[in-house]
Structure formats: C-alpha cells, structure tokens
Structure 1
Amino acid sequence: MRPEPGQVMHFSEDPTITVFEPHVAVTAKYREAYVWAVDFERAPDYWFPRQCPRAMAWAQESTTEDDRSRIIGDEDRVHAVEYGWLEAMRTVELYAYRLPAADFEPFGDYCHVSTRTVRPLGPAERVGDLFALHAAADIQLRVLPNLWPFWERVTASSLGFSGIRLANACPRGQADPVFQSETGCIRST
C-alpha cells in the first residue's frame, strides 16, 4: 500500500475522512498547522496501528558493512515493534488516503506537508494485513521485548533510521520481559 506517481499518502484508523484540514497535532514539535503525508519510500513507516511505537533502520550509501551485518543482517530495511503490540497489528483496521502530491511540499527527509485544506483523490482504502505488507516489501519485522536496546544501537550506527511514537514504548532498562498494551507496559509474569 503505497502512493502512485503524483500522489502522497496519509494513513489513519478513521475511514470517514472527506477533507484534511491543517492542524497542530498534540504531539507536534512545530506550531504551524499542517496536513501531513508521506511518499512512496516512507509509506511503510506507517503500516502500524497509530499509537504503536516502532523503530526503523535501513542501509544507506554511508552504511558500513560492520553496522549492516551487526544490526540489520542481510536485509536492506528492518522495522521493530514490541511484543505487546502484536495483537493490535493483527487486528487494527488501518486505512490509506491517496492525496495529490501537487498540494504538498517536502518537509524534512520523509514527510510532506500542506498548509491548506486537501481533499483525498478517492475514498479511504483498507490497508489490510500489516504482516503481509512487510513481507511483500521485503522489510524484516522484528518483535522485541523492549525497543530501546535496538534503538540505541541503530542511532549510534551509520544506518538510516526513524522512530515513531517512541514515547509509547516500554521504559528503558526494563529488566524483566514486558508487554506493551495500549494502556501501558505490563509484566509477563
């Protein structure tokens, strides 16, 4: 589920959006009102439940062979989530909206923003099986008890990386196996 040429995408658990109005998100670092979207390369970053914390890493031109083999192995791209989010990933109803790329400007390395109202090119499309999407795109999906050790290795490496909703991840340094639910981390025993 990726945008076609001339399109960007917005992913949502709400299939009823008919118009996207610029707004300042509660979690925003920026105070300007935007409509946010992603391009073809970054669409897989959003093949998750909205609140699901995820850490992503990929090989890039400057990636050393040591970092690649040590952190992501033979893969080009790896996404990591915590065990407690598996059920949400299996059951979430995620939708994609195709939006006209001409209405957006690049923002940073991976997002596109618009400061005006944007209408989707058509109705919301059900994204489907998130595991199948990852497999079809040759993106390894790792399931970990805690994202922080992986995140710390990735951010200290020569890999490209992105983290989304990391504030929802289990606490750093958790000694026991834990599972994340939408209400927080709980111990497995």
Structure 2
Amino acid sequence: MRLYHFSDDPGIVTFVPRAVLVPSQRTPGREWLNGPLVWAIEDDFDFLYHFPRECPRILIWATEATLDSDRATWLGSRRAAAYVERSWMTAISEAVLQRYELPADHFENLGDAGMWVSREVVKPLARVELTDLPSSLASREVELRVVDSLVPLKALWATSLHTSGIRLRNASGW
C-alpha cells in the first residue's frame, strides 16, 4: 500500500500537521480529526483527489454490502463514478496537481475510504505532476460524470453504494 497527498503546490519539502480550515461535525471521540494532522490517502482511493482542491464532487463505488440493483443502476461495470458540476469542467481540465508519495510509518488508518493521518511532520518520498485529470480518472477506471447540479444526487446517500462528498459547501445550491 502506498500513501499520497495531493496539492497544487510543487514545492512542499515537509508536511507539517495543521488543523483543518473548516472543521467538520465529528462523532464523539473523533473530534481530534479537526486538529493538527497530516492527511494522506491510500493508493486504492487516490481518485478522490484527482480534482482541484476546492472542486465540489460526489464519488460513488461499490462495497461488499452493495446491492446488485444499486450497482447496475449507478455503476454498471465501472469501478467508480465521480460527479462534478459543469461549471467546474474548465478548472478540472486546466488543473495541475502534485501527487506526493508519503512514507506509511507514523500514519494511522482511519478505516474510512482509504484515509490516513499523522500527528508528526512528514517528508515526502517523491512527487509526480498530474496534468490531465480527466484522463487520470479514466486510467483509474473512474467515470467522470458532468451534471448541472450536485443537489439532485443527495439521494445517493440512501443507496447501498459508498458515497463520498468532498467540498460540497462549494456546490451550487448545496
């Protein structure tokens, strides 16, 4: 397993733990996740971050608990799908991201969609520049689906698919 952090900054020499800019509601006992941490994503789920940082998106994929009917309706034979608003397509097409590989030691698994955190300063092992995000998603078997609004997709959370919403505060009408 490999761990990554995505950024638009090509000059990061060390990752220093920092608190999140917009704290999230956390379940009791997990409030510490809003505190100073270095966040990483494991390679199987890195497609969650093949987007400009502030781009609102909804990503879905099947789990062991996914019903065949939900898989057929929403995914078909695809591994995953990513929904974005049409107004973000230029930014997605023009974005340049840096994928930093991080050492796995000192990271703890959150047990949620490949997310890991470290409370320590982390030095990256390598950096790769990503310039064609739609192709990058396609290579990860993730279908990019463009919609006018993400709001009608709120019902995805009621399916048996894993549904992940990122930066939804930036979605039109959310």
User: TM-score, with normalisation over the residues of structure 1?
Assistant: 0.82
- Compare the two structures and name the one with the higher helix fraction: 2
Identity of aligned residues (%): 37
Unaligned runs of 5+ in 2: 25-32
Residue 117 in structure 1 maps to residue 121 in structure 2: yes
Deviation of the 1:128 alpha carbon: 2.3
Task: Tell which deviates more after alignment, 101-110 or 91-100.
Answer: 101-110
Question: Which structure would you say has the larger Rg?
Answer: 1
2:94–2:131 contact (8 Å) kept in structure 1: no
| One-letter amino acid of the structure 2 residue matched with residue 21 of structure 1 | V
Q: Deviations over 1:74-126 (max 9, x none)?
A: 3231111000010001111111111101121112412110001111113x320
Q: What are the equivalent positions in structure 2 for 1:38-117 lying under 5 Å apart?
A: 38-109=41-112, 110-117=114-121
Deviation of the 1:162 alpha carbon: 0.6
Deviation of the 1:138 alpha carbon: 1.5
Residue 8 in structure 1 maps to residue 3 in structure 2: yes
CA distance in 2, matches of 1:65, 1:107: 27
Correspondence for 2:159: 157
Q: Secondary structure at the match of 1:36?
A: strand
Correspondence for 1:183: none
CA distance in 1, matches of 2:51, 2:13: 22
CA distance in 2, matches of 1:104, 1:93: 26
Q: Secondary structure at the match of 2:105?
A: helix
Residue 170 in structure 1 maps to residue 172 in structure 2: yes
CA distance in 1, matches of 2:111, 2:67: 24
RMSD: 1.3
Task: Tell which deviates more after alignment, 38-47 or 62-71.
Answer: 62-71
CA distance in 2, matches of 1:47, 1:154: 21
Residue 24 in structure 1 maps to residue 15 in structure 2: no
Correspondence for 2:28: none
Unaligned runs of 5+ in 1: 173-189
Correspondence for 1:177: none
